[in-house]
Structure 1
Amino acid sequence: MSRDETSPVFRSLDPQADLEITERNLPHWFQIGAAMFITFRTGDSLPKEVLLRWQRELEHWLKANELPLDLAVSTAVRKSKDHHALLETLSDAQRREFKKLSDRFFHRSLNECHGKCLLRRPELAELVGNALLFYNDEKYDLDRFVVMPNHVHAMVQFRAGATLEVVSQSWMRYSARQIRAVTGDSGVFWQPEPFDHIIRSPEKFEYLQRYIFDNPRKANLRQGEFLYWQRPM
């Protein structure tokens, strides 16, 4: 089927275009017109025992490579003021390997479904899906997303005038307010800071499309325990 002329064209990072870089606990790279992979999770999705297991796994790798063990705590548990200095002790290849190891543990742990996993309930997952779709084709263009029991993955490309605040304000804050109205809970629903990165190549774009599509199967979820949406072709 041919692409509709009005359908958005998703692009990877343009090294020549303006790039906005901000940082809290996590680095955030943002570029208008570049596709992004975004993950946000419920506040109870990685309990203390999981974070400590993450720390130990990173420590094992750092020890084997004779690198500072403090980097494990700073990555998995609580970011230290020396985090960047610790990263600088790694070579470029070591930094890539360390990040791959850390990301793999992070996503594997999310799929283990720790916490209450309230988004397994279809009516709550639908509230999140509606929040993501509310400004679709206006402030941003969604390629696809999946609402898992305790986290969300989305591929999105922002339009001129939009910022990453859409994720924390429109997606997370709005959906949390609606979910609390249904459940009666008053505590924090989402972990405050999402994980995001700009997609750097067409090959990575296709890989992440498959990742989002396959995520429910890899987490052994049945139909009705997740919400998947993708842009019509």
Structure 2
Amino acid sequence: MEPETAARQSCPHYVTLRLTDALPRTVMAAWHDDVDRRLHMLSEMKGRPLDPDEERTLVQRTIGKVERFLDSGRGSCVLSDERAAGLVESVLWNGDGERYRLHAWSVMPNHLHALVTPLGRRDIGDVLQEWKTETTRRVNQELRRAGGLWHPDVIDHEVDHPVEFARIRATVASNPEQAGLHEWPFAGEESRMKAPGLTMQ
């Protein structure tokens, strides 16, 4: 039960994209099973089906297990090459302020996190497809590689509370340090960048 990409406009989204080989199927299957078990238990405790907000909250609480595994640096870690990480970061910056608001980001060796708000008629799916297509093209060209870069599944949830927004923004920007990548330059938040001071509306 992968968290579905939502399409509501003007709401920040916390997204995680991972490289194709970053997360073994067994790990993801175990996470799905854990989420399903927790959803069932909570529903039984409440004596009713969970509403979408309750489900989303529970899923978010368990995502940390997946993210800790990603931070362990499994797979090919194509983005540990600073040329590739820099290209991915530049793609994220490219549409900031025009097609979306990039509140925070971290490009890790085998995944990326971002806190982003689509602008105009775009939804989060449009933004992610743009990122995946352009980063794959540019990284493959730079590293003289071929094939897909990103796994099709995306972890995505809406961030609709200012306290959660502030917490996630700080967490995303500090992810490299938390994972032991000291002085890793490919992460930040808007207050550190040339972009205007965009904040949650």
- Scaled by the length of structure 1, the TM-score of the pair is 0.69
Whether 2:96 is the aligned partner of 1:119: answer no
Paired residues in the alignment total 187
Q: 1:158 to 1:219 in 2, by over 3 A?
A: same
Structure 1's unaligned 5+ residue stretches are: 1-23, 69-86
Q: CA deviation at 1:36?
A: 1.4
Give me the whole-angstrom Cα distance separating, in 2, the residues matched to 1:100 and 1:34.
16
Partner of 2:27: 50
Could you tell me how far apart the structure 1 residues matched to 2:60 and 2:157 are? Answer: 13
Of residues 77, 97, 106, the one that matches 1:146 is 106
For the pair 1:105 / 2:65, whether they are aligned, the reply is yes
Tell me the residue number matched to 1:206: 166
Separation in 1, partners of 2:61, 2:14: 18
Decide which of 110, 131, 140 is 2:91's aligned counterpart. Answer: 131
Shift in Å, 1:28? 2.1
Instruction: State yes or no: 1:156 paired with 2:116.
Output: yes
Q: CA deviation at 1:34?
A: 1.5
**Rounded Cα–Cα distance in structure 2 between residues aligned with 1:180 and 1:108:** 27
Determine if the alignment matches structure 1 residue 167 to structure 2 residue 127.
yes
Which of 182, 189, 196 aligns to 1:230? It is: 189
Look at both structures and tell me which one has the larger radius of gyration over its CA atoms.
Answer: 1
Amino acid across the alignment from 2:188: W
2:75 is aligned with what amino acid?
G
Q: Label 1:100 to 1:138 Cα distance change in 2 as closer, same or farther (>3 A).
A: closer
Q: In structure 1, give the amino acid aligned to 2:13.
A: M
* Compared CA separation, residues 55 and 205, structure 1 to 2 (3 A): closer
Could you list the runs of 5+ residues in structure 2 that have no partner in the other structure? 192-196
Q: CA RMSD in A?
A: 3.0
User: Whose helix proportion is higher, 1 or 2?
Assistant: 2
Q: Does 1:32 align with 2:9?
A: yes
1:28 match: secondary structure:
coil
